[in-house]
Amino acid sequence: MKIRCRLFGRYAEVTGTDVLELELPEGATVQEALARLREAVANGHQIPDNGLVAVNMEHSAPTRILEDADEIALLPPLAGG
């Protein structure tokens, strides 16, 4: 199955891309997609194992099972005051 990954903020800066597609086996989880993403991009080791992730614009747990054509968004830590 194919999923789209969107990277925002610092993640886009360090990897040099803000969007890419990944090919994953059926039944893959968000956590597995992140592991594959870290392998697929330059400086992928800077993407955390358990960062803030949304699937199809909804906050998601790492154990969520993905479906073909899902979109994952990796959101950097937020700070504010």
Enter the pTM of the model: 0.89
Q: Which domains does the chain have, with CATH numbers?
A: 2-75 (3.10.20.30)
Predicted pLDDT of residue 48: 87
The pLDDT tens digits for 8-48 are 999 999 999 999 999 999 999 999 999 999 999 999 999 98
For the chain, state the CA radius of gyration.
12
The pLDDT tens digits for 38-63 are 999 999 999 988 889 999 999 999 99
Using CA atoms in the order 45, 49, 51, 54, what is the torsion angle rounded to 10 degrees? 110
